[in-house]
């Protein structure tokens, strides 16, 4: 895995979230889409909260505060191909779903800023992390620091597509 490419991609995707954020009015940001499910606000809440938690897990790997556990083959394939298997809906684990809340545009901006600052601080240390030291992801099992970085990229991208689906749904019902 090319860490520099993954890092650039994450920054590019975070920038896309930032740009999209500037297109919302506060009331529309909070509004649930006609198809049901999360509002834009809740997607931002989830994705940046989860990304910050992923950075904590990645940092634990960097600090050798993890376990020497295998990564499942299916997870390695997801990380290799850079996407979750198509056509399958993924339910957020309950403890993560319980963290999702409606946030303001200002809160979303702060989440993005906090994520970018933490990523900038941790990224230079990823390459030196022991690849055998892993921490547990709630759905994917054990990931090392490099795998956490790749997961962040995949997860950010997955929810960016969700924002586009929500936007299409609003347009269809306008």
Average pLDDT value for the chain:
92
Question: From CA 136, how far away is CA 57, in angstroms rounded?
Answer: 8
pLDDT band for position 172 (cuts 50, 70, 90) = confident
Give the pLDDT confidence score for residue 170 in this predicted structure.
84
pLDDT confidence of residue 92? 73
Whole-angstrom Cα distance, residue 79 to residue 75? Answer: 6
Q: According to the model, what pLDDT value does residue 41 have?
A: 96
Q: What are phi and psi of 45, to 5 degrees?
A: -60, -50
27-60: pLDDT as tens digits? 999 999 888 889 999 999 999 999 999 999 999 9
Alpha-carbon dihedral sign for residues 103, 108, 113, 117: positive
Burial 19-54 (b: 16+ CB within 10 A, else e): ebbeebeeeebbbebeeeebbbbbbbbbbbbbbeeb
């Amino acid at each position: 895995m090319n860490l520099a490419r993954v890092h650039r991609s994450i920054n590019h995707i975070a920038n896309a979230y930032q740009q999209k954020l500037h297109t919302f009015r506060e009331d529309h940001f909070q509004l649930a889409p006609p198809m049901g499910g999360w509002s834009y606000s809740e997607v931002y809440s989830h994705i940046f909260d989860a990304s910050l938690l992923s950075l904590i897990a990645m940092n634990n790997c960097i600090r050798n505060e993890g376990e020497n556990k295998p990564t499942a083959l299916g997870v390695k394939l997801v990380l290799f191909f850079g996407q979750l298997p198509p056509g399958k809906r993924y339910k957020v684990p309950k403890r993560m779903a319980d963290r999702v809340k409606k946030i303001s545009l200002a809160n979303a901006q702060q989440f993005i800023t906090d994520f970018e600052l933490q990523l900038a601080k941790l990224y230079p240390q990823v390459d030196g992390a022991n690849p055998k030291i892993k921490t547990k992801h709630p759905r994917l099992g054990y990931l090392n620091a490099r795998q956490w970085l790749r997961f962040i990229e995949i997860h950010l991208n997955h929810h960016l597509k969700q924002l586009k689906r929500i936007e299409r749904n609003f347009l269809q019902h306008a």
